[in-house]
Structure 1
Amino acid sequence: MAPESASTIWNVPNILTLVRIALIPVMAVLLLSPSKEAGFWAAAVFAIASVTDWLDGYLARKMEIVTVFGKFLDPIADKLMVMAALIMVLPFNRIPAWMVLVILGREIIITGLRGIASTEGIVIPASDLGKFKTIFQIVAILGILLHFDYHWFFGIDHPYLYVNMHNVGMFYLWIATIITIWSGVDYLVKFTKVIAR
């Protein structure tokens, strides 16, 4: 297979992926502070990065631009963004460390297994569980980054009009953690069956 040219690599979907990677240190610097303002802007950066994740995949399919570089970089960018957000909030005790260990451990193990499978020329299709995992992780992380109470009705100060974003984030993080374990076991079973054949 001929190597990809620079003109092939520098397409809109790949550039969006690189932008997502460039946003990671911006978010990390913001999360050095536990303040409400820093969390808000970190959540905004994470939200923009999440939109670019959807957009680069959509454009790659729409423009029929699928490159080896893009297929390699896109999942790495996703994992780095999630890992950075979860690790940076650990010092603030916003989430249990074991949840972060489970989520990151699953990503490392499955990435390694995918690498082994690809060297053997084996493609193990991703299940819908992986998509649900990503959606719940994004929503959970946004809630955890926002963390504080927010009122949502034209600034009216009433206790029933406040939402604690930390509680919202933790609710979705529990779901994301369960799906993370479920999807990891599902992939391991598929991998074992394929390798056994």
Structure 2
Amino acid sequence: MVDREDLPDRVWTWPNALSALRLLGVPLFLWLLLGPEADGWAVAVLMVSGFTDWLDGKLARWLDQSSRLGALLDPAADRLYIVSTLVALALREIVPVWIVALLVGREVVLGVALLVLRRYGYPPLQVHYLGKAATLLLLYAFPGLLLADGEGWLAELCEPIAWALTIWGTALYVLAGLFYLIQVAGIVRAERAARTAP
């Protein structure tokens, strides 16, 4: 995997445009979910977000348009969708508050870890493949949870699948966070040892 700092410092690329489009979809998604409660349209926005998440990575490789900005925008958009979706689903009483607390708490802890890294002069660490898998599971789980909140055969079909994806995605998301914290702790220990060495 290419280190983020080795990537070109480009802004105007197709992958970055897709990531920006995904970010603009967050307020639209929240409004659809919490305002008119247009769940079908909200699911459509989530599906478009998931597709553009996959597409921007592919385009970055196909067109050789990887960039530092893209390496920051992509995981930021993922996290923003996850946190905003969780809060909205909790407000609608579709998911229990403890799942929201667990996943949002993970983001807060990693935010503090990022500040620690910056204090020691390090950029954000590379996204772990486990975190990518967890994000993918959760981005599939959330539309399923919305569909399962309805009535009829589709809701019955979606409910067990959506909850399975939610449980697995949550477990992997927390585990990826723990791996990130272990990496940060290793960096901090090494820096402190280097500073105290004669």
After TM superposition, is the score higher than 0.5? yes
CA distance in 1 between partners of 2:93 and 2:83 (Å): 16
One-letter amino acid matched to 1:23 = G
Who is 2:23 aligned against? 21
Change (3 A) 1:188 1:32: same
Aligned residue in 2 for 1:46: 46
Query: Are 2:23 and 1:30 equivalent residues in the alignment?
Result: no
The residue that corresponds to 1:90 in the other structure is: 90
1:196 to 166, 189, 192: 189
* 1:156 aligned residue: none
| Contact in 2 for aligned 1:17/1:77 (Cα 8 Å) | yes
Structure 2 alignment gaps of length 5 or more: 191-198
Partner AA of 1:88 in structure 2: A
Match of 1:171 in 2: 164
1:24-55 CA-partner distances (Å, limit 9, x unpaired): 111111102585xx212111110101111111
Question: In the alignment, what sits opposite 2:80?
Answer: 80
In the alignment, does 2:104 pair up with 1:104? yes
Number of residues of Structure 1 aligned to a counterpart in Structure 2: 182
TM-score, structure 1 as length reference = 0.80
Take 2:90 and 2:125, find their aligned partners in 1: how far apart are those partners?
Answer: 33
Counterpart-to-counterpart distance in 2, 1:91 and 1:150: 23
Aligned-partner Cα distance in 2 for 1:126–1:29: 29
Does the CA-based 8 Å contact 1:23-1:45 persist in structure 2? Answer: yes
Q: How does 1:173-188 map to 2 (within 5 A)?
A: 173-188=166-181
Q: 1:107 to 1:53 in 2, by over 3 A?
A: same
Runs of 5+ in structure 1 lacking a partner?
Answer: 153-161
Mapped to 2, the partners of 1:51 and 1:112 lie a distance apart of 30
Structure 1 residue 128: Cα displacement: 2.5
Query: Does 1:129 pair with 2:122?
Result: no
Q: Distance in 1 between matches of 2:96 and 2:117?
A: 32
* Distance apart, 1:14 and its partner CA: 0.8
| Shift in CA distance, 96/73, structure 1 to aligned 2, threshold 3 Å | same
Q: Give the C-alpha shift of residue 143 in structure 1.
A: 0.9
Q: Decide whether the 8 Å contact of 2:34 with 2:92 is kept in 1.
A: no
Q: Which amino acid aligns with 2:45?
A: V
Greater CA deviation, 63-72 or 174-183?
63-72
| Alpha-carbon distance, 1:109 to partner | 2.1
TM-score, normalised on structure 2?
A: 0.79
Deviations 1:113-165 (A, max 9, x none): 2353355236644432112211211121111122224546xxxxxxxxx7343
1:191 deviation in Å?
1.7
In 2, the alpha carbon distance for the partners of 1:101 and 1:194 equals: 27
SS in 1 for 2:156: strand
Q: Which residue of 1 aligns with 2:68?
A: 68
Over the aligned positions, Cα root-mean-square deviation in angstroms equals 2.5
What amino acid is aligned across from residue 104 of structure 2 in structure 1? L
- Equivalent residue for 2:12? 10
